[in-house]
Structure 1
Amino acid sequence: MEINKRRWLMDIIMLPIGLLTFFPFYLIIVNTFKTQAETARNPISWPKTFYLDNYSYVFREVPLLHAMMNTTVITAISVGTMVIFGAMAAYPIVFNPGKTNKLIMTYLMAGFLIPFQTTLIPLFELMTDFRLIDRLYGLVLVYSGGSVFVFFLMMGYMKTIPKELPEAAIIDGCGTSGIFWKIIFPLLKPITVTAIIYQTMWIWNDFLAPMLFLNSSNNMTLILQVYRAKGEFSVNWPLFMTLTVIVLIPIFIFFILMQKQIVKGIVGGAVKG
């Protein structure tokens, strides 16, 4: 009975919190089915009739497929680079913790503590000098700096792997690269999936870096297309919200499908073997 009372109490507490959290999504979605005049009159109300011209206009006038392709390419290559370099950097520091490797770890930790915003001016100058502005691969290089975050995730998880595994592989004649790719890296699947989820959501929704380093319409990402929907002096809110919903749908589905892997990766990395 005591457990049931606690569950009922938690339900009573969490229900209004859940409704409050859902309200912004409701506000955005219902206004995609309204005209601008109806949204201005009452943005909270349910639409009198479902106005579908917002969606047809967005798909007709906005190059969403091209922007989605740009976003997908940038995200996939950047996340793949971060996972590989993060895992490769963590491997020697965990399984060969010498003074040099500890110094490298301290250096990476110091770099991780520096906010990205403080490096924007020198980074922009560097990108300009190397002619990487308005290049998709230039933006990939910028995002590759997120390897440091993946490095710390991988390092925490690798500490749960028994050191006897690589030692036994060395006795069997396996080289360093073979140990990493055939033994260690396959064991990193839970934390690798977690890193992929976090970094994918970050890059897919990022506005600052694309805004700074991409300027041509041909290279725009989905978030930049949403930004372009905002006028200088006025905003067509139904169209703006419609474009926002369309952009969020892929990453929302991705998160729902992968959320269980986040918990597995975090729990696995928190337990030391």
Structure 2
Amino acid sequence: MTNEHKRSWLLDLVMLPIGLITFFPFYYILINTFKTMKETAASPLHLPKQWVFTNYVTVFQETPLLRSFGNTLTITVISVLLMVLIGAMAAYPIVYNPGRVNRIVMLYLLAGFMIPFQTTLIPLFQLMTDLQLVDRLYGLIMLYLGGAVFVFFLMMGYMKTIPRELSEAAIIDGCGIAGIFWRIILPLLKPITVTCIIFQTMWIWNDFLAPMLFLNSRSNATLVLQIYTAKGEFSVNWPMFMTLTVITLVPIFIFFIVMQKQIVKGIVGGAIKG
């Protein structure tokens, strides 16, 4: 057995138990969606004695899942697209015109990025209330645009690896600043753009805190908020809770599986170019 085969065998030996540990929560949640409340409480880890599909039927009958799916999709798509666009446009002048003012702006954004979101909840809620943005989907979208700072720093790091000769050649050919950004810089940012889209999509889709605080009506609720409907005042309907969890996780799970290779390409691409 060669050294390469030994390393592969050892890697498989290490990754197998890690994979089983990672898979266990999904197994636990999934099998309990096919049980009654009584069976879930009696034997949560065992396979169902009789597979019950009524939990899924009940969830669709008692909760506006399709509307919540539309709300979540609308908030996620618009927020992510705007964050990527704003982050890229903010990084462009700071990278290609690193003057004193731009450095101050970058430090200002860095300081804001380091402040935890939870510490600003009270003044932020007061501001949202004064602007009548509470319980508005567009209000939550505006709130999420603060995530453009994260995109900005990723874009800035990747943009520094793009040769300046490309923009200089475009200027000689008569291309303006806006033209250089849209025709040359932005297409070259595709790997890191896809990475930003993946990270921000997973964050917004799974976020619970912001929708819980800033969306009050059930008609504006997101999918994650619908999971909270399984919780009563004194008890929790665990089969319904887990069924809602599975339904919420399936779209983002499929999205991650399809796009996971792009994460590596986006992160490693800048290192290779650098």
Contact 2:72 2:205 in 1 (8 A): yes
Once the two structures are superposed, what CA deviation does each residue of 1:150-188 show, in whole Å capped at 9, x if it has no partner? 000100110110001111111111111111011100111
Separation of aligned partners in 2, 1:197 and 1:23: 24
Match of 2:235, SS state, is coil
Contact 1:32 1:241 in 2 (8 A): yes
Task: Tell me whether 1:180 sits opposite 2:172 in the alignment.
Answer: no
Q: Which amino acid aligns with 1:240?
A: F
Select between 31-40 and 10-19 the one with higher mean Cα deviation.
Answer: 10-19
Separation of aligned partners in 2, 1:270 and 1:124: 40
Task: Tell me whether 1:82 sits opposite 2:96 in the alignment.
Answer: no
Alignment of 1:51-66 (within 5 A): 51-66=52-67
Q: Which residue of structure 1 aligns with residue 37 of structure 2?
A: 36
Task: Tell me whether 1:138 sits opposite 2:158 in the alignment.
Answer: no
Q: Which residue of structure 2 aligns with residue 157 of structure 1?
A: 158
Alignment of 1:1-273 (within 5 A): 1-273=2-274
Q: Which amino acid aligns with 1:216?
A: S
Contact 2:230 2:238 in 1 (8 A): no
Match of 1:231, SS state, is coil
Contact 1:156 1:270 in 2 (8 A): no
Q: Which amino acid aligns with 2:214?
A: F
Q: CA RMSD in A?
A: 0.9
Q: Which amino acid aligns with 2:170?
A: A
Contact 1:160 1:271 in 2 (8 A): no
User: Per-residue deviation at 1:272?
Assistant: 4.9
Q: Which amino acid aligns with 2:194?
A: V
Normalised to the residue count of structure 1, the TM-score between the two structures is 0.98
Select between 3-12 and 174-183 the one with higher mean Cα deviation.
Answer: 3-12
User: Per-residue deviation at 1:10?
Assistant: 1.8
Once the two structures are superposed, what CA deviation does each residue of 1:92-132 show, in whole Å capped at 9, x if it has no partner? 11111111111111111111111111111111010011111
Contact 2:32 2:44 in 1 (8 A): yes
Q: Which amino acid aligns with 2:235?
A: S
User: Per-residue deviation at 1:74?
Assistant: 0.5
Match of 1:50, SS state, is coil
Report the identity percentage. 72
User: Per-residue deviation at 1:271?
Assistant: 3.8
Match of 2:156, SS state, is helix
Separation of aligned partners in 1, 2:270 and 2:132: 40
Q: Which amino acid aligns with 2:230?
A: A
Normalised to the residue count of structure 2, the TM-score between the two structures is 0.98
Q: Which amino acid aligns with 2:30?
A: I
Match of 2:232, SS state, is coil
Match of 1:226, SS state, is helix
Separation of aligned partners in 1, 2:44 and 2:38: 10
Contact 1:159 1:272 in 2 (8 A): no
Gaps of 5+ in 2: none
Q: For residues 235 and 209 of structure 1, do their structure 2 counterparts lie closer, same or farther at Cα, with a shift above 3 Å needed? A: same
Contact 2:194 2:263 in 1 (8 A): yes
Match of 1:65, SS state, is helix
Contact 1:153 1:269 in 2 (8 A): no
Separation of aligned partners in 1, 2:269 and 2:15: 28
